Structure 1
């Protein structure tokens, strides 16, 4: 993974997770074959709430993993999913397609996804956008969650972006 992309992915994933936890938005972690590929970075795992769902998988799409659907659907009143992670052109792309088939509104966080080859990330973003996935960024997601500068957590969360 290119160092600058990995650093951006890590920093922005931490911001997303911390913000979601602060606002009571459910968070779920999936890991692609952690025994062979390694576990999620410790600083990201350290941000996760105790009730975060975790799904180890070998399938590229989360939607094909055994426990993903059952862990996702306790939050069935939610119709939107925010995606971050690696590899943009494999797991993120295939998961986005699967979640769209399930009827979710999808938001892929451009500065919180990565591919080994930057061209693959750009290709994945273009493909997802062509299929109606909203491409966004970390700061936009958090400020859309807040909705108003009078939100009780506004000052807390804006510190993440200074």
Structure 2
């Protein structure tokens, strides 16, 4: 069960042209914006990654806007765990569980999730906040990661799990994001 005091959010490589050509990109980006807003409302640590930003470009504006107080971590390995700055940020956050989002599900998301599992963290892939250029590659990545010990959740499922009670201070704010 996800707990807001033990969970962080990782946003992987939602950049440039690639972000606009992944499967169902508009819905994917809109869901990810909602999740980032909810994570901020809940006080979750957010780690934001950009793959080779000099070549692939910046994070898409609508997402960059809601990540306003977070600095991106540049990476060049497909797995963020290949970047010492990311591993250091994960350790510094002192969270047990990480929600994983971003693109592409079968490359950087997949390899980062495996890296976090190898480091002993619980990993939950937010299914409607990850994408690939083809739905087949996304589905393959989610299935393979589930077999390797990652959990699969959704935007609404993880939010209500993190909130836990309709009397929680964050309930109304989170509810307004998903309705």
Name structure 2 gaps, 5 residues minimum: 1-19
Out of 41, 44, 48, the position equivalent to 1:22 is 41
Out of 73, 79, 82, the position equivalent to 2:91 is 73
C-alpha spacing 1:123/1:4, structure 2 compared with 1 (3 Å): closer
Name structure 1 gaps, 5 residues minimum: none
**Secondary structure of the equivalent of 2:44?**
coil
Normalising by the residue count of structure 2, what TM-score does the alignment of the two structures yield?
0.85
Out of 32, 38, 41, the position equivalent to 2:60 is 41
Aligned length, in residue pairs = 160
Q: Contact 2:125/2:150 (CA < 8 Å) preserved in 1?
A: yes
**Which stretches of structure 1, 4 residues or longer, exceed 3 Å deviation after superposition?**
1-4
Written as runs of structure 1 = structure 2, the 5 A alignment for 1:34-113 is 34-50=53-69, 52-76=70-94, 78-113=95-130
The answer to whether residue 133 in structure 2 is matched with residue 132 in structure 1 is no
Higher RCO, 1 or 2 (CA under 8 Å, sep at least 6)?
2
Shift of 1:54: 2.1
Structure 1 vs Structure 2 CA RMSD: 1.3
Cα deviation, 1:98-145, whole Å, max 9, x if unaligned, reads 000000000001101111111111110110011111011001111111
Shift of 1:80: 0.1
